[in-house]
Amino acid sequence: MMSKGDNEEAERTLIRAQLDADLALALAKEAKAQSDAAEASEQVGKLRKEMSK
Amino acid sequence: MRRSTRFSGVRVSGSYAAGPLLIASLSVLLGACGGPAIPPQELNDARAAYAEAAKGPAADLAPAQLDTAKKALAAADDNFAQDGPTSKTKDLAYMAQIRAEIAAAEGGREKAERKRAASDKDFKNAQIQGLENYQKTKEALASEKAARVEAERKAAAAMASLNEIAKVKEETRGVVITLSGSVLFATGKSDLLPIAKEKLNQVAKALTDQGFKSIVVQGYTDSVGSASDNEALSMRRAQSVRDYLVTKGVPSEKATAEGKGASNPVASNSTPDGRAENRRVEIVVTPEK
């Protein structure tokens, strides 16, 4: 049987692991969003350039 | 602070290798001296991570996540104040740091998504504008074509109308409208006959309908009489015609008169018919283009 202290520590370890996963996901989403935004901006630039010809 | 390399909360960077030992040693020393405990590196990192997140887009775009990070940091601070730099304090600090970094990432994502939405809107607007420009150009071309067709029709109509009352021919000097002197003036006179005014009304209408750059009204006589008299008479007749055309809408600044006398005969002056042909007024029209 684990003591109360061991349980708390194990719980904190689990939370830390979960937070690490959450952060990895958040960073991946942010990177995707930034990539999409850059692409969209580039498309606008191309279209405007095309229109100005 | 963000995107630091970590594995399940344990930093693998070498920069903190000596940190915990130093902090532990200082804590022991300060504790022994009764001074305040030094915060562990994890807590300092958490505070810095939160400060950075709060400065960024998360403040406006991920306020809930930032608030969660703030509360997590407060919990770590409280635990540190109560128990010192324990492993629990360090765990709580680490959790606060990660929550702050999540908040920053969420803020960054939201900002990027808004930027993309704005770009999508710009793209759509540009497409609409392009379509509108295309339609406008198409309409302008159609309108221009219709105007050109109408102008050509009017020009043809004007020419046809002129052909009914005068001889019209194109020469290198311009379009030459020739009116017989016998229908314009009485013998030896320069006052326009009533029938002449009717014809000149048609000429003026044709000219104003068609448009032109300039006209020169040239008067001619036959060879009977003195040259000086003929030149003077031809000048007065040309001036009469020119002035009348101006009263009918021909711009004054575009119209001039010349007396040519018996020069440039178009027929023999030895026969009555030939002399009649030579007594004439020519209107030389320079087209607009």
Q: How far is A1 from chain B (nearest CA, A)?
A: 21
Burial track B257-287 (b if 16+ CB lie within 10 A, e otherwise): bbbbbbeebeeebeeeeebebbbbbbbbbee
Q: State whether B105 and A30 contact (CB < 8 Å).
A: yes
Return the pLDDT at A32: 97
Q: State whether A37 and B108 contact (CB < 8 Å).
A: no
Burial class (CB in 10 A: 0-12, 13-18, 19+), B120: middle
Orientation angle between helical segments B63-83 and B87-165, nearest 10 degrees: 160
pLDDT in tens, B18-51: 344 444 444 444 444 556 789 999 999 999 999 9
Find chain A residues with C-beta within 8 A of B92's C-beta.
Answer: 12
Count CB pairs under 8 A between chains A and B.
Answer: 88
Strand partners, B285: B175, B215
* Pairwise CA distance, residues B92 & A5, whole Å: 15
Predicted ipTM of the assembly: 0.91
Better pLDDT: B206 or A27: A27
* Pairwise CA distance, residues B152 & B144, whole Å: 12
* Pairwise CA distance, residues B209 & B202, whole Å: 10
Cβ distance B112 to A37 under 8 Å? yes
| % pLDDT > 70, chain B | 88
- Split at pLDDT 50, 70, 90, the class of B15 is very low
pLDDT in tens, B255-277: 999 999 999 999 999 998 888 88
* Pairwise CA distance, residues B219 & B279, whole Å: 8
Burial class (CB in 10 A: 0-12, 13-18, 19+), B42: buried
Predicted model pTM? 0.58
Return the pLDDT at B36: 72
